[in-house]
Amino acid sequence: MAPTEGPPADKSQPWLPLVGGGNDGWSTETEATATCFCGAVQLKFPLQSVDETFICHCVDCRKVSVSMFTTNFTIADPYLTYTRGQDNITAYAQSRTIATGNIVTNYFCKTCGSLMYRASSGHKGLNAVRMGVVDDYRLHEGKLRPRVEQFVESRVGWLRPVEGMRQFEGSMWGGKIVAGGV
């Protein structure tokens, strides 16, 4: 993933909030950026190349995100490029807690620890990007709004299912659909 440039950030817009040290995120009709908390790492991706958007309640996502669930989107390797900071990424991989036995690699900013994305050996060439690092918050409600909830059997009891969303016990890739249609 070679570094690339993008348009200048419009810092006057409320949907591109100043968060942490990263204040140059941007989006257009066709692409957007994802920046770590300190601003050292920034990715860009074409919006039309986003595959699936989902909420994950698996215990690994809960632990690695220090939250009760994660929001993610999948995108193929060729479409996820670094605008800066590729040398500031560190990776941690393991398979011990993955039910399939696949190796899942987490890619973090070395400076601030932001988890940028994950990749599984079971889905070679596909990345699960954390939605929280996407700079344009409008996309969270629009083009990147999750369509699937997976590992719902691990969802905490005080959190309700998202109405109208496909619900899976286990992974959406091979799990059992329990609500929301095909």
Average confidence (pLDDT) over 2-28:
64
Q: Quote the CA–CA distance of 138 and 165 in Å, as a whole number.
A: 19
Question: What is the DSSP secondary-structure string of 27-40?
Answer: B-SSEEEEE-SSSS
Q: What CATH number does the domain located at 31-179 have?
A: 2.170.150.70
pLDDT digits (tens, 9 = 90+) for 47-68: 999 999 999 998 888 888 889 9
Q: What is the pLDDT of residues 64-114, one digit of tens each?
A: 888 999 999 999 999 999 999 999 999 999 877 666 778 999 999 999 999
The per-residue pLDDT for 136 is 92
C-alpha span between 25 and 33 (Å, rounded):
6
> What's the pLDDT band for 5 if we cut at 50, 70, 90?
low
Contact 172, 150 (CB under 8 A): yes
Residues 6+ apart with CB under 8 A from 145: 53
pLDDT tens digits for range 115-153? 999 999 888 999 999 999 999 999 999 999 999 999 999
pTM: 0.85
Buried b (16+ CB within 10 A) or exposed e, 56-92: bbbebbbebbeeebbbbbbbeeebbbbbbbeebbeee
| H/E segment holding residue 63 | helix 59-65
Which is nearest to 79 in space by CA: 135, 129, 114, 143? 129
User: At a CB cut-off of 8 Å and minimum separation 6, what does 141 contact?
Assistant: none
* Nearest alpha-carbon partner for 35 in 127, 106, 117, 93: 117
Closest CA to 118 of 93, 96, 87: 93
